[in-house]
Structure formats: structure tokens, C-alpha cells
A and B are shown apart, each in its own frame.
Chain A
Amino acid sequence: MSTTTFPTPGFSINYGNETETEIARLAGLVVETPAVAPIFPARWLAIKLLETDEDLQTRLKMLKGGAALLAEAEKSRARLQEIYGDEVDVAIADRRYGWINGLVREVVQRPAENRLTASDKIDQIVTHRLLGIPIFLAAMWAVFKLTADVSAPYLDWVDGVINGPLARWGVALLNLVGLGGTWAESLLVDGIIAGVGGVMVFVPVLMFLYLALALLEDSGYMARAAFVMDRLMHALGLHGKSFLPMLVGFGCTVPAQYATRTLENPKDRILTGLLVPFMSCGARLPVYVLFAAVFFPQDSGAVVFWMYLLGIVTAILVGIALKNTLFKGKEQSAFVMELPPYRLPTLRSIWFHTWERTGSFVKKAWTIIMATSIVLWLLMAIPVRGEGSFAETDVNDSAFAVANQTLAPAFAPLGFGTWQASSALLTGFVAKEVVISTMSQVYAVEEAEEDGEEVPTFFEDIGEILSTFISATGDTLKSLPLIVGVNLFEAEAEEEPTALMGAIKDGFETSSGGHGALAAIAFMVFVLIYTPCMVAVAAERQELGMNWTWVSILGQLGLAWLMALVVFQGGKLLGLG
């Protein structure tokens, strides 16, 4: 066996009298062990033995006299453990860190003004005990103003493209293959374009939402938002880390359910899993934007903001109620969060996040929403009364309408007891985007074309798409000051609502006895509170178990109905809407 000599370090840490005594004793024994002494520095080995270094223990067992050393080390550790009341390696590490910290304080001198970084100075305001929450709310306000108001011109552009050129091209293609005027045209126009197209119209809204969220994430603010809200949750007796999964829930409820696994305690995990669905996911946003545009066109950004805030407040209040009843337990322990330094977001990163998330949404629209739209079209194409035949029946006489008419009375006290509204909520169990696609299909509206209007050619359509895109971009730039309340559009005439918007407005005004705006808020509240989607239910089942999943589904349905009732009936009593 080769022998190596080790340089003796020029310094040594004092581990305290008791530990030093044991180190000296063990080092003496090492020196007296001929098979070990030439291989390891005595003091170093003594310390490692006290720290229970497993590698060294294995190596020593193979050397003559090594087992005896290990036995002596065991005795030393037992003596020291009795003195410190903790593992010996903790006491040794504690001394080391103390020495390191002392050394740093002695040799590193920082000017007073450099002790706080720029991020630390910003954090003194952004994570301030009193200012933190208002700043968070202001950031949310800006996000939803950007999302709802600034995206509006692009939303109109996409709507125009889908219901104009794309629909015309589709029908022309069917005419070419001899399917024009058949059930296939109905499937394309009333099923796929109305359903999938109805949701795709909102892609610009989601794109702006993801852009705003990417800006907050990449700048480092999102971490502060989580920290500030965690502190609030903790102060209210909930687990501080509950807000982290909730923040994920702004994007999608499914990963938010899985994010509850960061909570160690099963009770905290279940409680947070029950609260996560109350956060407004991206799929609910189109519903808010559509209803805000129909009933509150001047304040659509504010309406979306209040809906998101209502979700957070509901989650907190339900959490407090559950914490004081079913989940009663001891005080929550604190935790330490590493806040990353603020950074200037890069265009590349912002674009990547925005594109990736928007792409996920679009892919979903082409799969789940298209499948649902086709099934709905089929149900709406089958007549169960009246004189119609397959695909040529009044939608009110269809199997889908008749089936949903049995459900509608349950929503009458909430102001939207029509089969159209109840069917949108029913299909919304599949995914919240489907609420919009269903409405586009069940209201069966067609944009009126002016008499004698010539059908544009393909190249005219392309030119129209490009020119309206440029116009939408100009309007979007003009919309930016809306975030801070400056409206550059005031002098311009208000845009005509689309046929779908008109049909929704008429439907809600009729079903609510003239309180359409109140019924619309009640409908949005219902959409916010009830089950997010079937995949979220599957995730809940996996994370919470079957019993809690049922509690969650039924609880959300009951709470959604109650809250919508309070909004509609309470609003009527107060003379609102």
C-alpha cells in the first residue's frame, strides 16, 4: 500500500473545549495506529470520525486497527452527544459556519450603501407589509386592463377573419366537392366554425394575458407576488405556501393541483387542492371577456379584474372556513423563500413563454373543443319535435335543446334559466372554453349580409385580412394608454356588437326580466366557482382521493349556485342592474 503525506493546514478551527478534547484523544489514537497514521492526517481523521463519515468508516474497517478506532470514535460521539444534546456533526458544522461567517465579517468590508442591492431596495417597497398587497392588486389591474382592453382590436380582427374569409373558403371548398348545401356544410359552419372558431376568436386575449404573465415572471415580480400573498395567507391561518399552487392556477388548474405536492402535510395539501379550482384559469377568461364586452363594454378590463379578485377572495374565505372546521389544526410553520434578483425581461424569453402557452391553448381548441363541438352539432341536428329533419331543424326543437330544457329551471332564480345558458354550463364541465363554443352554436346566429353585396374574391379576402391586421395593430397601440385610464378612442363611434353578442344580450335580458347585466354577472360568478373541467377533476381524484373529489365537485356547484343567487337576487333587491 502506498503512503501519502498530507500538508498540515496553516490554520485550524476551534471546535470548542469538549470537542477539541475528543479530537485530541482520537488524533492520539490515530498516530498510535501504524496502519492508519501514514495514510490520513491525524486531526482531520479524528474530526471525520466524529462526523460519522461513512466512506472513511468503510475504508478504516479494512485497515489493521481501524475497527478499534471506530469503536473509540463511537464512545467520543456518545459523550459529546450527551453534552450538546444533538448530533456531533451538527455541532462541528455549526462551529465551521461560525468560523466562516466571522472570517467574512472580518475581511469583507462593504460600504454601507452597497450592502443593499437594487433588488433589495425595490423589495423594501414591493414586499412591504402594508404596501405589498396594494402593489399586487395594481399589477393585476394592469394585467387585466392589458388583457381585456388592449387585445380588443385583435379580437375583432380574428373574429372577422374566421367568420368572413375562412368561413367563405370552407363553404367554397365544399361546393367544389359537391357537398354545398348538405349536412356537411351545416357541420362546418354551425359545428366547427361556430364552435372552434368561437373560441379561437379569444386567442389574442389569451396571448396578451400570457404576455403580461411572462413579463411578471421574467422580471422577478411573480416571486414577490407569491411571497406577499403567502404572508397574507399565513396571517389568516392558512398555510403560507398555499398561494404558490394558486398562482399556477391562473394558467391552468391541472398543474396547480399537482403543485400542491410541495405541501408536506396531507391536511394542508387537501385543503389547498380544494381551494385551487377557485382561481380563474386561462380558459375562463374568454367567458369573462365576452360577457364584459356584451354588458359592460366600457369597463371590460375592470370586470375581468374583479372576477379574478373574486376568485382569490373566495379561495381565502373558503380556506378560512375549512381551516376552522374540517381542517382544524395547529399553527402553521413558516418557511424561507429565496427571491431572485429583478431582471429586465428579454424579448426572446417573453416571446417563447407567450407563444408556447398560446400554442398549447390553440392545440387544445383543435382537439377537445372540436370533438365537443361536433358532438353538440350532432345533438342539435337531431330533431325530437317539430317538422325539421336531420341537420335541418330549428335548434329549439333539437334533442340538445329539449334535454337542456329540463335543467334550465334550476338556473331561473339566478337570472339565466334558459336552455342555452344551462347547456353552456353543462358542456363547460368538459372544459371552460366549451362554454363559449356552445354559446356560439346554440344561439345559432348568422351575421346579416347586406343585400346585393358581392362575394369577394380570394385575393380580395387576402388583401382585406392584411389591411384589417394593420388597422388592428394601430388600434392596439392606441389602446395602450387605456391601462392608465387614458382613452384615445372616445371621439370614435362605438363598434356594433356582433350577432352572437346581440343574441346573448337578448337572451339574458329576457330570462332575467330586464336585469341582463345582473344575470350576466351571476353567470360569470357561476362559471368562476363551479368545477373547472373534467381533467381538473381527474387531477383532483389523483391528488385528493375520490371522497374529497366529490366534496370538491358538489361544494363548488353548491357554492356557485348560492353566490350567483346572492349576486342576482341581492342586486335586484338593491335596485342594481
Chain B
Amino acid sequence: MLNQVLHEITNANEPLSLTVLSSRLGIERGALEGMLDYWVRKGRLKDDDALPNGAHGAGSCGPSCGGADSCSFVAKMPKSYSLPAKTKDDGLVS
């Protein structure tokens, strides 16, 4: 089941919504979220909300701007999961 989820994402040829993935695999949405989080913990998926260190707070657009983490222009974007980048020999980035 877990592998099915990863397989489906790896082989999808377009972005998927959680609802579509849930109905395609016949998995309850709540259970699917748990599975995705499991793969994030294992490093096989990336939670795009969890930006790398330094992604927030870096740079500002003027004296009144508190930086990217408090920028009022940054819209709240939906949570998304993606496959992490691979090294040249297709091994996962450590």
C-alpha cells in the first residue's frame, strides 16, 4: 500500500491533488496523509512547506519589510509533497 502511493506519485505525468490520489488508490484521505508523512520521514518524499534553513527571513524589499518569513505579500500556499532531487547515480541526496 505504501509502495503503491510512492509508485503512483513517481509515475504520474502531472501534478495530483490529494483527493484524486485518494480516489485513484481507494485509500481514505486521512490514511493517505499519514502515508505521505511516513514517506517524508523516510526521506523518499519532500514536504515543500518545510523550507530549508535560511529560506525564511532572508532578504527584504525595503525598510518596512520584515523579510520573507513575515512578508505580507506571501500568500499562504497549499501544502505539497514532491519527490526529492536525486544525485547523478540516481541515489537520494543525503
Contacts and interface: CB of A to CB of B under 8 A. Distances in A.
A235 B65 CA distance: 36
B94 interface: no
A461 B48 CA distance: 54
Q: Chain A interface mostly helix, strand, loop or mixed?
A: helix
A97 B80 contact: no
Interface in A233-277: 234-235, 240-241, 244, 247-248, 251-252, 254-255, 257-259, 261-262, 264-265
Given A227-B15, A234-B14, A363-B62, A335 B81 contact: yes
Contacts of B79: 337-338
Interface in B20-72: 21, 26-28, 31, 33-36, 38, 42, 46, 48, 51-52, 55-56, 58-65, 68, 71-72
Interface stretch (A374-382, A471-479, A498-506, A535-543): A535-543
A146 interface: no
A353 B74 CA distance: 10
A216 B75 CA distance: 10
A130 B73 CA distance: 30
A255 B16 contact: no
Contact of B78 (A86, A108, A226): A226
B9 A104 contact: no
B73 A248 contact: yes
Contacts of B56: 258
Given A97-B31, A251-B75, A252-B61, A227 B17 contact: yes
Contact of B17 (A217, A235, A248, A339): A339
A143 B29 CA distance: 33
B63 A97 contact: no
Contacts, number: 183
A369 to B, nearest CB: 10
B71 A335 contact: no
A367 interface: yes
B31 A254 contact: no
A97 B35 contact: yes
Given A261-B55, A336-B17, A217 B76 contact: yes
B71 to A, nearest CB: 4
Contacts of B21: 336
A231 interface: yes
A431 to B, nearest CB: 8
Interface in A341-400: 353, 356-357, 359-360, 363-364, 367-368
A364 B14 contact: no
Given A90-B42, A100-B31, A333 B83 contact: yes
Contacts of B9: 333-336
Given A247-B77, A258-B58, A334-B12, A98 B1 contact: yes
B73 A251 contact: yes
Nearest to B54: A261
A203 interface: no
B75 A247 contact: yes
Contact of B64 (A97, A231, A360): A360
A127 B17 contact: yes
A217 B75 contact: yes
A212 interface: no
A251 B17 CA distance: 25
Contact of B10 (A235, A244, A333, A339): A333
B19 A339 contact: yes
Contacts of B63: 363, 367-368
Interface string A104-132: 11001000000000001001000100000
B80 A241 contact: yes
Contacts of A340: 78
Contacts of B64: 360, 363-364, 367
A334 B16 contact: yes
B80 A335 contact: yes
Contact of A335 (B16, B27, B72, B77): B16
Nearest to B64: A363
Contacts of B38: 93, 97
Given A97-B2, A255-B68, A337-B79, A539 B59 contact: yes
Contacts of A105: 26, 28
14 contacts: A101-B27, A101-B28, A105-B26, A226-B78, A255-B68, A265-B85, A333-B82, A335-B80, A335-B83, A336-B82, A337-B16, A339-B78, A364-B62, A367-B62
Interface pairs A-B: 3 shortest CB-CB: A251-B73, A363-B64, A335-B82
Interface of B: 1-3, 9-10, 12-19, 21, 26-28, 31, 33-36, 38, 42, 46, 48, 51-52, 55-56, 58-65, 68, 71-85, 93
